[in-house]
């Protein structure tokens, strides 16, 4: 039985909390569930927070929070951490952190991880512009995805869903979504989060998020794409204050087959976006296709 249910929240430190709040409220469509002078919690559902922001003057991924199945699962992970010589500490500040029955430790890539059994629930779900389901996954950058993935498999019980060659691994937790975490090799940006993802109801919500972002002057890191690994359709909006992306996705598949074996996908454009696949006889305008120069614009000139 799986120990970790899935990603619970992302905690970021930011240079100016008011500017970050403006972005995540207007562009990411999250609602503030609680606010302090230098700290804020935001959500898109009934859980108290999917995102935690804290003003420190320096942008970084402060912590990733994962929900575990129950207290027995938490104890099992603590025993595995002890067996591996990995220090951990109890964290049970419900008033300050809005989670209870939790532990914290540092993973092999230097990120602080919190595992919790319970989070404060709101009396009613937030009424949001987009139909949001959950904060789904986070992807970060490491020197050795194989070694990092081994830790999440052996200690936290994650399962491999797919690889992009051996440069990136996608791993799933108990909610069975294709990945709750992704770890990619990037030695130039070690120790940084690439993006986190919010799962929305359908493609209309993805396109609404895209439209609002562009009309508000935000920049897209990737326009609408369809990923080969998860099958999801997504758009990625850049948070300019800390240079990460917020992904909005839909149709992210779940893996129910216990006999499923992770694939090794090729590192090519159509793996990242199936819509980038081109036919064999494709040619750019003005370039020969099957020996014949074709410019379809000229055919419409009359």
Segment 76-83 mean pLDDT: 98
At 4 the pLDDT is 98
User: Is beta strand 220-226 parallel, antiparallel or unpaired with respect to 51-55?
Assistant: unpaired
* Number of C-beta neighbours around residue 156 at 10 A: 24
- Quick check: 93 and 81 in contact, CB under 8 A? no
Q: Which of 93-107, 131-145, 239-253, 282-296 has the lowest mean pLDDT?
A: 282-296
d(CA 252, CA 255): 10
For residue range 186-207, list pLDDT tens digits in order.
988 888 999 999 999 999 999 9
Provide the percentage of residues in the chain whose pLDDT is more than 90.
85
At 302 the pLDDT is 43
Mean pLDDT of the chain: 93
Segment 23-43 mean pLDDT: 97
Segment 19-23 mean pLDDT: 97
Which of 47, 58, 30, 1 shows the shortest CA–CA distance to 192?
58
Segment 268-280 mean pLDDT: 90
At 290 the pLDDT is 60
- Quick check: 147 and 166 in contact, CB under 8 A? no
pLDDT at position 301 over 50: no
Question: Is the alpha carbon torsion for 118, 119, 122, 128 positive or negative?
Answer: negative
| pTM > 0.95: yes or no | no
d(CA 162, CA 174): 16
At 282 the pLDDT is 81
For residue range 123-181, list pLDDT tens digits in order.
998 999 999 999 999 999 999 999 999 999 999 999 999 999 999 999 999 999 999 99
- Quick check: 143 and 190 in contact, CB under 8 A? yes
Strand segments (E) across the chain: 4-14, 31-35, 39-43, 51-55, 60-68, 88-91, 99-106, 112-119, 132-142, 159-164, 168-172, 181-185, 193-200, 220-226, 233-239, 244-250, 263-265, 288-289, 292-293
């Amino acid at each position: 039985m799986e120990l970790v249910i899935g990603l619970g929240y992302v905690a970021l430190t930011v240079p100016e909390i008011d500017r970050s709040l403006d972005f995540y409220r207007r562009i990411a469509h999250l609602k503030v569930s609680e606010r302090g002078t230098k700290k804020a919690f935001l959500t898109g559902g009934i859980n108290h927070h999917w995102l935690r922001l804290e003003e420190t003057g320096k942008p970084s991924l402060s912590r990733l929070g994962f929900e575990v199945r129950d207290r027995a699962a938490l104890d099992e992970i603590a025993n595995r951490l002890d067996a591996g010589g990995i220090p951990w500490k109890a964290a049970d500040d419900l008033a300050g952190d809005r989670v209870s029955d939790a532990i914290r430790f540092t993973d092999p890539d230097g990120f602080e991880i919190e595992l919790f059994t319970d989070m404060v629930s709101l009396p009613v779900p937030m009424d949001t512009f987009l139909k949001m389901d959950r904060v789904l996954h986070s992807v970060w950058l490491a020197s050795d995805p194989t070694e990092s993935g081994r830790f999440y498999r052996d200690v936290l019980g994650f399962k491999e869903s797919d690889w992009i060659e051996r440069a990136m691994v996608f791993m799933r937790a108990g909610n069975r979504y294709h990945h709750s975490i992704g770890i990619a090799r990037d030695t130039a940006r070690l120790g940084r989060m690439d993006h986190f993802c919010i799962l929305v109801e359908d493609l209309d919500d993805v396109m609404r998020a895209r439209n609002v972002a562009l009309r508000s002057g935000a920049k897209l890191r990737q326009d609408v794409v369809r990923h080969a690994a998860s099958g999801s359709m997504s758009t990625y909006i850049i948070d300019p204050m800390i240079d990460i992306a917020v992904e909005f996705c839909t149709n992210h598949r779940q893996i129910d087959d216990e006999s499923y074996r992770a694939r090794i996908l090729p590192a090519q454009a159509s793996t990242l976006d199936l819509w980038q696949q081109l036919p064999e006889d494709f040619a750019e305008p003005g370039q020969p296709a099957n020996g014949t120069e074709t410019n379809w614009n000229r055919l419409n000139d009359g």
